[in-house]
Structure 1
Amino acid sequence: MDLDLDGISSVSSLQSLAKLLGDPPKDDEDDDDECGPHSSVSAMGPGNIGPVKKETAVAGPAQVKSENSKTIWSAEEVPEGSEYEDTWDPREQPEYEILFKQRVGTEDMFLGMSRKDASTACCEDMVIKIKLPETKFSDITLDLQDKVLDLRTPQKKLLLHLPHPVDSRNGKAHFHSEEEILEVTLRMTRELDFINFA
């Protein structure tokens, strides 16, 4: 249906358009008393967009208020590591690579006694190699969480969301000063590891 908006100029045309857009029908004598156009759009606001939500007054854990009334989000809604994100930080991101490492023995390599293969599902550790040229070991600040690695030096900054959750308390870091590479080894704690390593 094409509408020519240039031709809509009279009050009756606007009232017809309002009826077309969903205005409820009115009595004929009410139409005579009105001087201007009436539209249901004027009564709408941003809260009217989308399906109509019914308010239910249920007392319970859903309506528990936080201790700080100024908080906007609950702790579960904020992704881990978002406190480190700083878009205004001028430091550049260093080059890095993520490698996966698995522990194999002779029974795995030559006899094939376990179900291990070359896929990352059979790897126990994640190794992150970060190139930090012209950096001393004392200048490196490393903060590690289960899903986020945050590294900062005077020249570089790396906020890395890890592909798998890790055991952040038992990681190892080693700085190779000759190659200027920081090597971080982390044990992965995935959901189905008990099946892959059985």
Structure 2
Amino acid sequence: MDIDLDGISSVSSLQSLAKLLSDPQEDDDDDKGCGPHSSVSAMGPGNIGPVKKETAGTAQVKSESSKTIWNTEEVPEGSEFDDTWDPREQPEYEIFFKQRVGTEDMFLGMSRKDASTACCEDMVIKIKLPETKFSDITLDLQDKVLDLRTPQKKLLLHLPHPVDSKNGKAHFLSEEEILEVTLRMTREFDYINFA
């Protein structure tokens, strides 16, 4: 069957061609003048993105007495500190990683440690706080967030690795006006790196 596509220019010609090429089952359902239905017309904004797998019987039902909008697991840790209206500026800071090495590591190579951050035990954060006294610093540590406040500066830092917030050390170097915070990292696979 040869079709001359150059001769098809009117809307009715296109609708007739679409009707010829469509499934015969759809012909019974078609309204006159509406044109053929296609699967593309059934798509909407909800069809964009990855296909969601629906599991039967495992749908979570919210209790009607609960007025919560989201679960506490969905809220990132430290978001309660984030204040976009605070006019204080963010201080300069640097993050370093520190290893504990001994002579057996340096000269004999007896452990599996290398120079990568995967083999580092501690995270050191150096925060520059010019014109600040030690008594003006408020520091709050959580497992993934460092929150520092002074009268002039504010720093809300989401840490690159989880840390042991109970056993951190902070030291203020008054000559350089730098707060040095040393935190022990608690990563998931540290038992492999430090075995």
**What is the TM-score normalised by the length of structure 1?**
0.71
For the Cα contact (< 8 Å) 1:173–1:185, is it kept in 2? yes
Separation in structure 2 between the aligned mates of residue 121 and residue 105 of structure 1, nearest angstrom = 17
Separation in structure 1 between the aligned mates of residue 125 and residue 4 of structure 2, nearest angstrom = 63
For the Cα contact (< 8 Å) 1:125–1:187, is it kept in 2? yes
Closer, same or farther: CA 50–169 of 1 in aligned 2, 3 Å: closer
Shift of 1:69: 3.1
For the Cα contact (< 8 Å) 1:18–1:38, is it kept in 2? no
Task: Look up the SS of the partner of 1:164 in the other structure.
Answer: coil
Task: Look up the SS of the partner of 1:43 in the other structure.
Answer: coil
Identity over aligned pairs, percent:
91
Closer, same or farther: CA 46–64 of 1 in aligned 2, 3 Å: same
Closer, same or farther: CA 189–2 of 1 in aligned 2, 3 Å: farther
- 1:15-56 deviation line (CA, Å, top 9, x unaligned): 99999999999999x999999999999999977878998988
Task: Look up the SS of the partner of 1:62 in the other structure.
Answer: coil
Shift of 1:7: 20
Closer, same or farther: CA 35–172 of 1 in aligned 2, 3 Å: closer
Aligned residues: 195
- 1:78-121 deviation line (CA, Å, top 9, x unaligned): 11111111111111000000011111111111111111111111
Closer, same or farther: CA 41–126 of 1 in aligned 2, 3 Å: closer
> For structure 2, which runs of at least 5 residues remain unmatched after alignment?
none
Closer, same or farther: CA 104–34 of 1 in aligned 2, 3 Å: closer
Q: Which residue of 2 aligns with 1:26?
A: 26
> For structure 1, which runs of at least 5 residues remain unmatched after alignment?
none
For the Cα contact (< 8 Å) 1:22–1:40, is it kept in 2? no
Q: CA RMSD in A?
A: 4.9
Separation in structure 2 between the aligned mates of residue 116 and residue 32 of structure 1, nearest angstrom = 74
Task: Look up the SS of the partner of 1:107 in the other structure.
Answer: helix
Q: Which moved more, 1:45-54 or 1:149-158?
A: 45-54
Separation in structure 1 between the aligned mates of residue 18 and residue 140 of structure 2, nearest angstrom = 60
Closer, same or farther: CA 67–97 of 1 in aligned 2, 3 Å: farther
Closer, same or farther: CA 35–105 of 1 in aligned 2, 3 Å: closer
Separation in structure 1 between the aligned mates of residue 57 and residue 163 of structure 2, nearest angstrom = 35
Closer, same or farther: CA 93–148 of 1 in aligned 2, 3 Å: same
For the Cα contact (< 8 Å) 2:30–2:36, is it kept in 1? no
**What is the TM-score normalised by the length of structure 2?**
0.72
For the Cα contact (< 8 Å) 2:19–2:27, is it kept in 1? no
Q: Which residue of 2 aligns with 1:186?
A: 183
Shift of 1:125: 0.3
- 1:125-174 deviation line (CA, Å, top 9, x unaligned): 00000000111111111111111111111100111111111111111111
